[in-house]
Structure 1
Amino acid sequence: MSPWVLVALAGVLETGWAIGLKYSEGFTRPLPSALTIVGALGSFWLLSMAMKDLPVGTAYAVWVGIGTLGTAIMAVMLFGEPVSLARVLGILLILSGIVALKLA
């Protein structure tokens, strides 16, 4: 499997475990806590597999960027977090950085 696909999947799992942290309520709810831990482990594993072929700085930055984008978008959708021009511009800047790193 392509290392870029692995990083993308790892980023999606990062979004999942970041949102899971909210649902786990400080790891006091067993099922959300377990799913969060499994998601985090899966995300780290996929990232480590991608890093066999990609530079560490690039892979890590893209992983974090995907996780940040996904988490910010899901937080608006699931938790009603506010949407402002500054937030949208910030998300677009992160997306631009991910694209630039992929093309570099």
Structure 2
Amino acid sequence: MMKKLTQFAVAAVCVTGFMSAMALDGGALYLDPTKGGCSACHGKDAKTPIMPTYPRLAGQNADYAFNQMKDIQTGKRNNGMTAAMKGITHLTTDEEKKAIAKWLSEQ
């Protein structure tokens, strides 16, 4: 009985770790409309925003991108270009923001 319980516990930890890794797929989060839908404005490839005033995000430094998302969320960064993002940055956790920022830096 104890052996079965141990095997179950190990399997549960493995599955949980796998699910966490899947949940933090920055590219999938970037495209996900329930997480803000970054691609709707910045382009599916993060290189072709829908308006010339929106920034290209591909290749951006990961720390910089994360900090910008956080600063927009908290209101520390507040200018004309942040209004649209202000309403959606709460849809991602800090870990998800980091995953998106990392993905952007790799594009």
Q: Same fold (TM over 0.5)?
A: no
User: Which structure has the greater CA radius of gyration?
Assistant: 2
User: So what's the TM-score if we normalise by structure 2?
Assistant: 0.26
User: So what's the TM-score if we normalise by structure 1?
Assistant: 0.27
* Structure 1 or 2: more helix by fraction: 1
